[in-house]
Chain A
Amino acid sequence: MPTLWLVFALIALAALGFVLGRQRALASAGGDVKLLHSLPAYYGHNVALSAIVPAIAVLAIWSLAQPMMIESRVAAMIPAESIAENTTVSLVMSDVRRLAEGLDQAVEAGVLDAAGANALEAQNIDVRGLLGQVGVALGSEVSPEVLAAAQRYRSLTATGSMLKTIVVLLLSLGGFAWAYGRTHKDFRARNVVEQGIMALLILAASLAILTTVGIVFSMLFESLNFFGLHSWSDFFFGSTWAPNFRGDSELSILPLLWGTLYISLIALLVAVPVGLFAAIYLSEYASGTVRSFAKPLLEILAGIPTIVYGLFALLTVGPMLVRIFGQGEDGLLGVEWMSGATSVLTAGLVMGIMLIPFVSSLSDDIINAVPQSMRDGSLGLGATKSETIRQVVLPAALPGIVGAILLAASRAIGETMIVVMGAGAIAKFSLNPLESMTTITTRIVSQLTGDTDFASPETLVAFALGLTLFVLTLGLNVLALYIVRKYREQYD
């Protein structure tokens, strides 16, 4: 892995730079630390940072940009007529990439030598069979255009990597030499180093923005691809979800959205009353010992991974509900309303349990933020404690509690493992909570796992679903934070 070695080389240069820079600064002051402008270590840091930071930055940017440049140049090589009717450039490009990787592996395994891989011609040789020997399975016969593109891809990648190594090393050495040359007892090393560190800190802080931008763009591009292949009106306003990997599928978000909202509603019906009453009791009634014991125990529920809840839904709650509502004569109610363990109710109940601590700890904070004077006023007028809570504390805390519920709803909408394991896979509009239904997150998982083909609408729809989910949860969060913040200002 040459990039890794490159990084190690940079680290070694930086370490060397630290030692040499420090020595040179001390030497220029004749060994007397007091004559230096900055502490000796700063001169070392200066050289080390100059050697490593620009080089690493260039390395990172280069590694990100190189694939894109090569893709576009190779894609331009593929003549439009060689792209078959029902495929796209990106599909052909994925063939090219796979072939190039296959050639790399063939060279590595010794079936081909490096020159041989570049000299291959599709007409003379069975490329597919050749690569089959080294364990690379190609989907179809290799056309000459694709082979030529793959060879070009390989040569461009090789040149690019070599150039990258040279540029990065030169940059590192250049930075080293420049900083080393400037090292002198009067050089303001501390100020320079601190400016450099500040730049790094700002960079780290902007990474959060970069992540958001990455999320939005990665989903936006693929969603646009999707809407190029599938009509947007069917996606947003259609009524059927029936993916069909032979094409011609109906992909509408509405049935999925219905399942998502229905399950979230049941989860909130469980979590909100329980969580809210728990919060009221803990903050208004409970003694210190009860509080210090019950609150952390409840919060354990929030720390349990969702896979545990998923398994609990699939193997415990689901079968239990079947025993109550299903199994005909053998069941507890003697009815036959439920056939399988996966259902809206299964997922909703378990998700509700998961959300209890979420609602309770948020509401607890909010109720505690209501000023004591309001309670004292109400109690002083002769209201009982519960009347005070219902008529004074809760109305005052209401905006915050609504915010907490919205946050819990956004959590429920985005929850994945519980619904993947407990909700089922059938997309439909139904009011019966004992039927299995599917959700947005479940479909994202099922469309993106297994064999995926990033040129078919059936796979790309996952990105459109993801974007919708992101917008939905983001909207709920912003609304909730806005409400909570606005409320906080009232009493602070």
Chain B
Amino acid sequence: MTDTRQNPANNKGGSLLQHSARTRKRNAAERRFRAYGIAAISVGLLMLCVLVTTIVGRGTGAFQQTFVTLEVELLESKLDKSGTRDIDAIKKVTTFGYAPIIRAAVEAKVAELGIDSPLKAKEMAGILSKDAAATLREFVIANPDQIGETVEFRFLASSRVDGYMKGRVSRDSITNDKSISPEQLDLVDALVSAGVVEKTFNLAFITGADASDARPEAAGMGVSMLGSLFMMLVVLALALPIGVAASIYLEEFAPKNWLTDIIEVNISNLAAVPSIVFGILGLAVFINYMHLPMSAPLVGGLVLTLMTLPTVIISTRAALKAVPPSIRDAALGVGASRMQAVFHHVLPLAAPGILTGTIIGLAQALGETAPLLLIGMVGFIASNAPETIADGLLSPNSAMPAQIYEWAKRADPAFYERAWGGIIILLIFLVTMNTVAVILRRRFERRW
């Protein structure tokens, strides 16, 4: 070809191997554009990294707790004056009655170790949690025969001491803090080197109940996990059957008319309605109108069901659509009715897809917080684990995300740490559910 000859202007710069200024400019633009793309993805991934490291870095502390090991002499003269071991008489001694015993135990321990401290016994006992007396009382009521003996106990340390052990609290940061003094920290240092104060894994954070504002060291996620569990049971029991039934109708039987059109538009719009609107609906319908109990996991479950339904319906329809028509035709061909073709053949083949969609919907519902705020699942201390199923559904409880929000609201670094720790637990659940969904999809996905 001699085309190049006809356009001599292009060749002015010399050989093709040497780029003209314009080509260089265009190539630079190309490189810049590509760099923007890489930068955008890096920003996204960087944010993910920052988020994950923040959560892990701040939250792992919640799984460890500082404990103080003491030998406590359960004085008969204080706890059971009558000496009859009558449980009702023992119960009359309040936690205030136990405080001197704990004080004495701390003092004895300090004296035994030969630590020289200017503190009074009461201040020494201040390194223990306010929970300590209650723990002791519970133990004594459960084991009245131990009165008069000396028992070794592991008490929770106060949240300030715990913070000191974890590096959250330093001598500088407590200058205006009435809850702890530098002398107490000196005492803690001495006790640490003696092995009396130590930081160990804290199972109570995973299994325990929430605690009041003054005792962040005793707060745990266990009860709110049960609340979430009951809500998820309600969601599963309602959203799965209703969602599957609705999808079967829309995908397999619905005639094309204005009514089904409305239903379809409706479902896709419901999927995008802000979650807080479902909370308003729940408050107005379930609580104000139907007078279901406030803060009950049943109400939470109902609200989350309405929220999850569109997700379940959309994924179920996709799963049904993926089953090739030849399956239906074959079933109809051997004499099955349309209903039999769907329920005996299409539905079982679509089951893995439906299950995947349901698990993803459940994971979404598990992490949802906003509607739960409106139906009152925050603002109180969820301290009682439900005993029966009806109790679990109807008595006030928190849920995992609501509990995290509750802790974040309390504006105390010790509770912040627990909020991050709660997020780790929540994310472990979500990751597990999503992994199961992905594995199910990989394992049972069929290419037709």
Contacts and interface: CB of A to CB of B under 8 A. Distances in A.
Interface residues of A, number: 94
Given A64-B290, A301-B44, A306 B367 contact: yes
Nearest to B426: A305
Interface in A302-354: 303-308, 310-312, 314-316, 353
Contact of A215 (B241, B272, B273, B366): B273
A472 to B, nearest CB: 9
Interface string B24-44: 001101101110111111011
A240 to B, nearest CB: 23
B98 interface: no
A87 interface: no
B242 A204 contact: yes
A201 B370 contact: no
Interface string B342-354: 0000000000000
Contact of A298 (B48, B290, B366, B427): B48
Most buried by A among B45, B281, B434: B281
Contact of A360 (B27, B44, B267, B394): B44
Contacts of A310: 369, 405, 408
Nearest to A281: B37
Contacts of B290: 63-64, 67
Most buried by A among B51, B58, B279: B51
Interface in A177-212: 190, 194, 197-198, 200-209, 211-212
Nearest to B38: A281
Nearest to A274: B40
A417 interface: yes
Contact of A384 (B30, B283, B306, B370): B30
B249 interface: yes
A216 B34 CA distance: 47
Interface stretch (A25-33, A48-56, A116-124, A461-469): A461-469
B270 interface: yes
B369 A219 contact: no
Interface in B357-415: 363, 366-370, 373-374, 376, 378-379, 390, 394, 401, 404-405, 408
Interface stretch (A165-173, A261-269, A442-450): A442-450
A304 B368 CA distance: 10
A410 interface: yes
A187 B47 CA distance: 66
A197 B339 contact: yes
B295 to A, nearest CB: 11
Given A315-B58, A386-B29, A414-B274, 8 more contacts: A208-B310, A278-B37, A311-B423, A421-B405, A444-B276, A454-B288, A477-B269, A478-B269
B104 interface: no
Interface in A422-481: 441, 444-445, 448-450, 454, 462-463, 466, 469-470, 473-474, 477-478, 481
Contacts of B29: 384, 386-387
A298 B41 contact: yes
A282 interface: yes
Interface string A269-284: 0000111111011101
In order of increasing CB-CB distance, the 9 nearest A-B pairs are A414-B274, A281-B37, A305-B367, A277-B40, A218-B284, A204-B245, A386-B33, A416-B370, A201-B249
A311 to B, nearest CB: 5
Given A413-B274, A448-B374, A449-B373, A207 B242 contact: yes
Contacts of B427: 304, 308
A175 B259 CA distance: 30
Contacts of B404: 307, 311
B416 interface: yes
Given A204-B242, A207-B246, A473-B274, A306 B370 contact: yes
A294 to B, nearest CB: 5
B270 A1 contact: no
B150 interface: no
B285 interface: yes
Contacts of A205: 245-246, 249-250, 254, 260, 263
B62 interface: no
A5 to B, nearest CB: 11
Contact of B277 (A386, A449, A470): A470
Contacts of B258: none
B263 A303 contact: no
B12 to A, nearest CB: 18
Contact of A280 (B37, B274, B363, B420): B37
B217 to A, nearest CB: 19
A208 B263 contact: yes
Contact of A301 (B47, B288, B309): B47
A153 B139 CA distance: 47
A211 B274 contact: no
Interface in B252-271: 253-254, 260, 262-263, 266-270
Contacts of A311: 404, 408, 419-420, 423
Contacts of A301: 44, 47-48, 51
Contacts of B339: 194, 197-198
Most buried by B among A190, A202, A298, A470: A202
Contacts of B367: 304-308
B40 A462 contact: no
B408 A410 contact: no
Given A204-B249, A209-B262, A298-B44, A306 B369 contact: yes
